[in-house]
Structure 1
């Protein structure tokens, strides 16, 4: 019963990463019309959004490798908690990266001094996903 459920929650960080990539990508597309020389500098939010999906993949592989036939209910709930932890924090981080990346890229096109502030806020948004990964690793290795 728990085998199908424990590996079923790991698409949630990918949803956050997809939203972050799409939202930041539209900002980059709009900015590149005015300032095409800043495209490579503005790709950072898209890369950071992609890292969020990797967090979910890491936890999914760890849990999939620890599955066996005689798994206890306690262990199943730990795995579910690990999946929800990395999933929901990845979803929140992806949304934050998308919104900050979109506004930051558009703002940086008009005022280049905003770049450092955008990067700092993106780092804090990425750390939200990292916190979920740490909690998931603790839960999945118990």
Structure 2
């Protein structure tokens, strides 16, 4: 749920920037969709972890211990909160970056790099949560 909230915030905030520059520079709209795409990927990270965790959960009678349950809970929270933070970062960077790129096209490369660094937060959260599900 948290990863999807982060993805929604990133998409909405970036879309505000896209709408703002669509009036001034309509030729940059397709270039400005990158933050929205990157925000959507965060939701996919949460879906992957949810599917993996769903396969690991079993009834208590089948030997599912409290230790396993807390480990899986920690894995879900880790991925979710990392996705929430990454979506927040992508939203802020996407909005400011899209508006800045409309005024100064040289900022596009820097904006994409910062978006990648923001996306990596969610990727690291997914990796850590997958490691937590293995143990």
TM-score of the pair, normalised by structure 2: 0.96
The equivalent of 2:42 in structure 1 is 52
Q: CA deviation at 1:65?
A: 1.2
2:57 paired with 1:62: no
2:95 paired with 1:95: no
* Distance in 1 separating the partners of 2:58 and 2:127: 23
The equivalent of 1:110 in structure 2 is 103
Question: Residue 22 of structure 2: which of 18, 27, 32 is its match?
Answer: 32
Q: CA deviation at 1:54?
A: 0.6
2:77 paired with 1:84: yes
| Secondary structure, counterpart of 1:42 in structure 2 | helix
The equivalent of 1:134 in structure 2 is 127
Moved over 6 A (4+): none
* Distance in 2 separating the partners of 1:141 and 1:18: 29
Give the unaligned 5+ runs of structure 2. none
**What value does the CA root-mean-square deviation take over the aligned residues?**
0.6
| Secondary structure, counterpart of 1:112 in structure 2 | coil
Q: CA deviation at 1:136?
A: 0.3
The equivalent of 1:7 in structure 2 is none
Give the unaligned 5+ runs of structure 1. 1-10
The equivalent of 1:75 in structure 2 is 68
Number of matched residues? 132
